[in-house]
Amino acid sequence: MEWLRDRDRTGTSLTRIALYFILTVALSVEVVAALPGSAGSNGPTSAIVDFSPTSFPVKAETGFFYSIDKDLKYSDHLDPQAPTLVKGAIGGYLISPDGNKIAAVVNKRLLIIGATGVIGDVAKINGELGYRNFQWSADSKALYFNVTNRRSNGPPGELWKYDVGSKSASLVVKSFPAWSFFLDQKSNVYSAESIGNGDVGIKMFDGHASRLLKAGELQAIDRPFYSFPAPSDSDSKKALAWLNVRLDHKNDLEHLVINDRTYLSVTLGKGWDGYYYCSRHMKGVFLPGNKYFAMELPYCDNYNGWLLFDLDSGRYQTIPPKTFIFGTLNTATFDHFRVDDNGIEILRKTSEWEIRQAALKAIEISAPFVVREVNGTISSTTGQPLGNGSFTMCRNNVISSGTTTGDDGKFSFTMPRNPNPVSWPFARAMQPPPGTYGFKVVRAGYHPAIGTFVISPDATKTSALDIRLEFGFDVEADAYHWPEIGRTCR
């Protein structure tokens, strides 16, 4: 690009404009091509097997909150004709422990809404009220909220309590630099705060003073109460696993399994960015009583939206477009959580095959590889290519990057599996610099391998990492969604 530097820097270069345009279009094409099931996919799209929705009456054990478009409603079934409680886009929300109320940010106001309408106008939100910045008391009689203005680049500063019965708000503590908090049965407030040097700790406010808890005191908290905010994809999948909902894989199909019964299967698709299932984001919610389960399938070729399953009959029906069901999850009814210095988090349920996998001893490859670029093949000791192997490269025992192998067992940080040539220059530009790196390779059913490699311009052009794994045990695992254990340095 030396010729660009020699151009007149004060004028407009048509060449630069053209180059900028090409790069912009290239990136746009790459983003579109990466979408699962997009028109640019280079293989079959993922679809629901024998898609056959039916119609059946639905009645949950109790009423629940849901929205259709921007209309918030409450009923014991998804009734489009139910009265609209409030109208407007909902930001953060939290269902009360008794299930009869929802605290939600609507049109820049924090409201408490009951089954028949608004029962409390709590506060005007000038800045931002994050999902973790308000909490119900365990008895559903009060809502605690942390007033913040993120735009000022400062942490939250005031904790308030809104009493539902008297419809009044009172200041709890003014200096409250916490990003998340929870309560106990005595309404003591526990907050995750910075304690200096980049560390975070839990402080307890008992209504009079605040103090930092020691590590041993966290486990002694009397029945900590916390309502989990709208979960991320990761948290949703972790929570549903404890509720006996999982995605199983066999013969290139992904199956929705609830209480060990299969309710739906989807086929394996292949896009520009690799293989995928159209149920890739495990988002779902039980209606009250746990007789019905709603799940989102956002990328299926033959359906895009939510499905509602009758767990007794096994049938399912479509849900009206733009429908959202507001679920609830709290520590009073869900006990698979832990308290640490960052607050309360959902524990991850470990499957039997993962326990066996974690028990396999890692085998160290003593001789370092010397390569010009990071690419290679993962195979068994008998020479069988191993797809879906996890390759992690590290420097100073810190993960720097990772990738997975294709069906041919190959991986590369230079030329991705994406056949779109537009992406190749960008992949080459991301090639790690010369130096010594560590690596770890994990593949379900095989002993992990660890070792080192050196990136050197003096290496031969044909040099590559040829990594052979020893067999451990037969497994039908989560073939295309490798769990967290696959990304470590040692």
Decide: 258 and 244 in contact? Cβ < 8 Å: yes
Highest mean pLDDT: which of 34-48, 53-67, 211-225, 417-431?
Answer: 53-67
451-474 average pLDDT score: 94
Question: Could you tell me the CATH number of the domain that includes residue 145?
Answer: 2.130.10.10
Of residues 247 and 421, more confidence is placed in 247
312: in domain: no
What is the model's pLDDT at position 189?
94
Question: What pLDDT band is residue 39 in, cutting at 50, 70 and 90?
Answer: very low
CA distance 428 to 372: 12
Strands 261-271 vs 274-277: parallel, antiparallel or unpaired: antiparallel
Q: Collapsing DSSP states into helix, strand and coil, what is residue 96?
A: coil
Are 95 and 208 found together in one domain?
yes
39 Cβ contact partners less than 8 Å away, ≥ 6 residues apart: none
**pLDDT band for position 179 (50/70/90)?**
confident
The average confidence (pLDDT) of the chain is: 83
Edge-to-edge strands, sheet with 158-163: 134-136, 142-147, 158-163, 168-173
Angle 261-264-266 (CA atoms, 0-180°, nearest 5)?
Answer: 135
Question: How many domains in the chain?
Answer: 3
Do 214 and 126 belong to one domain?
yes
Residues 182 and 170: their CA atoms lie apart, in Å, by 18
Say if residue 211 is in the same domain as residue 107: yes
Is-contact 97 136, C-beta < 8 A? yes
pLDDT (0 to 100) of residue 194:
84
End-to-end Cα distance, the chain: 40
Q: Are residues 14 and 136 in the same domain?
A: no
Using pLDDT thresholds of 50, 70 and 90, give the confidence band for residue 398.
confident
Helix, strand, coil content of the chain in percent (nearest 5) = 15, 40, 50
Q: What are phi and psi of 266, to 5 degrees?
A: -130, 150
Domain boundary among 159, 184, 218: 218
The whole-number pLDDT of residue 401 equals: 81
Quick one: pLDDT band at residue 87, thresholds 50, 70, 90? very high
113 and 198 part of one domain? yes
Answer with the residue of higher pLDDT: 226 or 155. 226
Of residues 18 and 243, the one with the higher pLDDT is 243
Residues 29, 153: one domain?
no
433 pLDDT exceeds 50?
A: yes
State how beta strands 449-455 and 363-364 pair.
Answer: parallel
Contact predicate 367/453, CB 8 Å: no
Residues 7 and 104 in one domain: no
Give domain status of residue 246, yes or no: no
Token pair of 152 as six digits: 């000022």
CATH of residue 454: 2.60.40.1120
Distance from C-alpha of 361 to C-alpha of 404, rounded to nearest angstrom: 21
- Model confidence at 68, pLDDT cuts 50, 70, 90, reads very high
Task: Tell me the pLDDT band of 99, cut-offs 50, 70 and 90.
Answer: very high
State both tokens at 320. 């009206």
Residues 28 and 131 in one domain: no
Does 153 fall in a domain? yes
Last residue of a domain, one of 164, 196, 218: 218
Residue 30 sits in the same domain as residue 103: no
* pLDDT attached to residue 33: 43
Percentage of the chain exceeding pLDDT 90: 53
Residue 51: C-alpha distances to residues 48, 317, 318 (Å) = 5, 10, 11
Cβ-based neighbours of 408, under 8 Å, separated by 6 or more: 377, 385, 387
Per-residue model confidence as pLDDT tens digits over 108-159? 889 999 999 999 999 887 655 554 588 999 999 999 998 765 444 555 578 9
**pLDDT tier at 458 (50, 70, 90 boundaries)?**
very high
Q: What mean pLDDT comes out for the span 16-44?
A: 45
What is the SS3 assignment for 265-309? EEEEEEECCEEEECCCCCCEEECCCCCEEEEEECCCCCCCEEEEE
Give CA–CA dist 118/390, Å, rounded.
51
What's the alpha-carbon Rg for the chain, to the nearest Å?
A: 26
Name the residue type at position 347: L
Specify if 315 maps to a domain: no
The percent of residues in the chain predicted with pLDDT above 70, rounded, is: 81
pLDDT confidence of residue 1? 32
Q: 271 is written with which tokens?
A: 């896009």
Residues with Cβ within 8 Å of residue 245, at least 6 apart in sequence: 256, 257, 258, 282, 284, 293
Band (pLDDT 50/70/90 cuts) for residue 406 is: confident
Q: Give the pTM.
A: 0.75
Q: Which of 164, 186, 218 is the last residue of a domain?
A: 218
Locate 221 and state its tokens.
């908290």
Beta bridge partners of 49: none
- Two structure tokens written together for 448: 């992990």
Q: What is the pLDDT of residues 231-282, one digit of tens each?
A: 677 788 889 999 999 988 888 899 999 999 999 999 988 877 677 888 867 7
Is the residue at 176 inside a domain?
Answer: yes
Give pLDDT, residue 375: 92
Q: Which domain holds residue 386?
A: 352-486
Residue whose token pair is 């009265």: 83
Per-residue model confidence (pLDDT) at position 178: 81
Q: Are residues 133 and 7 in the same domain?
A: no
Residue 255's φ and ψ, nearest 5 degrees, are: -120, 135
- Per-residue pLDDT at 300 exceeds 90: yes
Q: Answer with the residue of higher pLDDT: 108 or 450.
A: 450
Whether the per-residue pLDDT at 450 is higher than 80: the answer is: yes
d(CA 384, CA 364): 20
Same domain (yes/no): 92, 9 = no
What's residue 421's pLDDT? 56
Contact 181/159 with Cβ under 8 angstroms?
Answer: yes
Q: Tens of pLDDT along 320-374?
A: 889 999 998 999 999 999 998 889 999 988 877 788 888 999 999 999 999 999 9
CA distance 47 to 182: 41
Asked if the model's pLDDT at residue 91 lies above 60, the reply is yes
- Per the CB < 8 A criterion, the answer to whether 398 and 379 are in contact is no
> 107 and 7: one domain?
no
| Mean pLDDT along residues 99-113 | 93
User: Would you say residue 468 lies in a domain?
Assistant: yes
Residue 406 inside a domain? The answer is yes
Q: Is residue 12 included in any domain, yes or no?
A: yes
Indicate the residue type of 488. Answer: T
Alpha helices in 333-399 (DSSP H): 352-359
User: Could you tell me which residues come within 8 angstroms of residue 36 by beta carbon, excluding any fewer than 6 positions away?
Assistant: 45, 46, 269, 271, 273, 276, 278, 280, 299
Q: Classify residue 116 by its DSSP letter.
A: S
Bridge partners of 189, per DSSP, are 183, 205
In whole angstroms, what is the distance from residue 87 CA to residue 101 CA? 16
> Which of 1-10, 184-193, 372-381 comes out lowest in average pLDDT?
1-10
CA 232 – CA 230 distance, rounded (Å): 7
**283 half-sphere exposure, CB direction, 13 A CA radius:** 18
145 contacts 160 by C-beta, under 8 angstroms: yes
- Among 210, 273, 302, which residue's Cα sits nearest to residue 419? 273
